[in-house]
Chains A and B, each alone.
Chain A
Amino acid sequence: MTLHRQFSNDGKELIIAIKGKFDFSLVQEFRQAYHDIGEQQPTVLIDLRETDYLDSSALGMLLNMRKSLGKAVKAIHIINCRPEVRSILDISRFDKLFIIE
């Protein structure tokens, strides 16, 4: 399984972890992952600790998520980026749109 989705114990965070390759092959699965987010206004944590590969389609998917969730979530954090992933996000100015930890 390359995409793993889980709420935290208190339901205040939705953690979506992507393993290996993050690209358009996950387009449906990724949309599904944040589709049913509930009324609680959770914080979404995109955990990229085990993401080896990503391309611009992954960035597009993240932007679409941000667009479609809007105020339904408290914030979207991108967490546990390896340095290479981090620099790709920085070049794309994602630090202005997401909270990158």
Chain B
Amino acid sequence: MNEETLAESNLQVSHDGSALADDVLSALSKAPAAQTLIRVLILSGSDNQACRSAVAALRREQDTPRRRRTELPKPPVILLITDSIKRIEQCRELVNDMLLWPEPAGLLDNRIQVLRHWQDARLELNMARDALAWHANRTEREHQLVEHIFRNALSRNYLDYPHLRTYLTPVSKFNGDLCLIAPGPLGNIYMLMADFTGHGLAPATGALPLSQAFFAMSDRGVSVAEMVTEFNFRLNRLLPADMFCACFLLELSANGERVTYWNGGMPPALQFDHKGKILQRLNAQHMALGVLDENDFDSRVTTFRASPDSSIALYTDGVIELLGHKLEFLGSDALESLLQRFPKPEDFPEVVGELEHFRGEQPLHDDLSLAILQCCATGLDEVKPAIEEISLPFVFESRLEVSYLQRLEPVGYILNALSQLPRLRSHRTTIYLLLAEAYNNALEHGLLKLDSGLKRSPEGFAQYYQLRSERLAELESGTVSIRIDYDADTEVLEFTVTDNGAGWEAALSAPQSEQSFGRGLELLKQLTRELYWEDGGRQVIFTYQL
């Protein structure tokens, strides 16, 4: 076989040196310049074997391994030109195109042009396929990463809470619905059901900041109104304008009696009793999260007392818009009647079974979430801070001259410091109260000579504190000293509060229950172990056992 390259027109010609070859070559020499390489095979006569081996040689030559990953294989496009109809029959499967020579209509150039287009298209397709494969691979890796982050972010989700049943089914790997549950510090429990617009990765991304805020705020025991305000603030800043988040947030008190909820754009949750009677529908009163800015946002909640043995079903619209195998939506009536038929917690598998039966083989069109919470005592403990076994003894002492008394409120100041000590933290409210009573007595009666009798009426009460601030501002001299001794062995705190005023007759009689003053002394008496005055009432000493 002879090889010839027509560099200008980018044609590689293999031919048998026949008269046919001469003829065709002279026709090809007029072909226009081009980028894309085309192989032309010119064979005269009808020797079948010659054709096969010539094609095989061409293919071999072009089938060498790719040098770089980015270099694409170039399957050769082969045009066979022959003068034998028989050969055309034989080689139909071996080459890409054929031309019987002589070609009376002068279509050789057109034919080569068409083959070039075809070859270009093949190359482009190959490149697109490889690029797609690369992106799919990369997306897969990124999804794995995000999945991992989600698993960690939601690892605290308390879906195993014993009084909760859930059926959560996302359309894709990532759920645009969010069902979160977390205990609060008072033995209360928080539950959130949210539905971002759309489904898949994009909405699930919004779930990250929402869930992090939810868990952090549940730990702190924040109110429902404050939680949704914060959620809205975050999502409003984060989400694009066409994306928002319908959300139902609910808090159940530790005894299971008080329900507080906020519903922004979610379908009505259903409260029903153990006999299946629907007690109420907890309708949406607000816009979804992420729509309104903080000034327009409405965080008002609804509270009610839950009857014992009742439950609340929260769900996303994916449940009522579930498409059944008969191509009809489930609808809210059907969901209600389902709950009426299976109201008991142990019936939940039946509810799920009915939903799945209704759906049959229909593919899911939206994420689907259903959760049923029983309104019963949560059985969760109040969070108790870990008590350190060993604490250090210490003495705290502060002598406060009048300028300090005027400028700051020392008891809160001292407590903020003391409550950093782990052993004292869980007693901070009581310690504050004791110290505040002693300090206020020293200041108000010892130095400012205020009369508690003024506090008898509500008006006098306010007047008393008005007078306090006036007299304090005018006070020219006076000192209050505060000393706290902590005995780490006996865990006893001893407080000494001393003033240099005119002295004060401590009235240690119990107040009448509705009197709005005198209560401080009673509290001191009740909460301390030892309590006595020295120096005509200028010094009070008491101890408190941790």
Chain A contact residues, CB within 8 Å of chain B: 4, 6-10, 13, 15, 17, 21, 23-25, 27-28, 31, 45, 47, 49-50, 52-57, 59-61, 63-64, 67-68, 79-80, 82-85, 87-88, 91-93, 96-97, 101
Contact = CB atoms under 8 A, between A and B. Distances in A.
A6 to B, nearest CB: 6
Size range of the interface on B? 35 or more
Contacts of B255: 101
Contacts of B223: 4, 15, 17, 47, 49-50
A17 B455 CA distance: 24
Contact of A55 (B300, B514, B517, B520): B520
B76 to A, nearest CB: 75
Given A49-B221, A53-B412, A91 B436 contact: no
B465 A79 contact: no
B516 interface: yes
Contact of A8 (B303, B409, B458): B303
A80 B303 CA distance: 13
A92 B436 CA distance: 16
A61 B299 CA distance: 26
Contacts of A60: 455, 461, 516-517, 519
B225 A53 contact: no
A20 B7 CA distance: 87
23 contacts: A8-B302, A9-B285, A9-B300, A15-B225, A17-B223, A24-B468, A49-B221, A50-B223, A53-B415, A53-B428, A53-B429, A56-B436, A60-B461, A60-B519, A63-B515, A67-B458, A82-B185, A82-B186, A83-B382, A85-B429, A92-B522, A96-B513, A101-B258
B527 interface: yes
Nearest to A43: B303
Contacts of A54: 429, 432-433
Contact of B258 (A64, A79, A83): A79
Contacts of A4: 223, 225-226
A6 B253 contact: no
B461 A88 contact: no
Contacts of B519: 56, 59-60, 92
Contacts of A92: 519, 522-523
B253 A23 contact: no
Interface string B176-203: 0000000001101000000000000000
Contacts of A7: 300
A84 B318 CA distance: 44
B186 A23 contact: no
Given A9-B285, A91-B526, A91-B527, 13 more contacts: A17-B223, A47-B223, A49-B223, A52-B429, A53-B432, A53-B436, A54-B429, A60-B516, A64-B461, A67-B514, A80-B221, A87-B430, A92-B522
B467 to A, nearest CB: 11
A101 B253 contact: yes
Contact of B303 (A13, A21, A87): A13
Interface string B431-453: 01100110010000000000000
The 10 A-B residue pairs with the shortest CB-CB distance in the complex, in nearest-first order: A56-B520, A60-B516, A84-B429, A55-B436, A53-B432, A64-B458, A63-B516, A56-B519, A24-B465, A9-B302
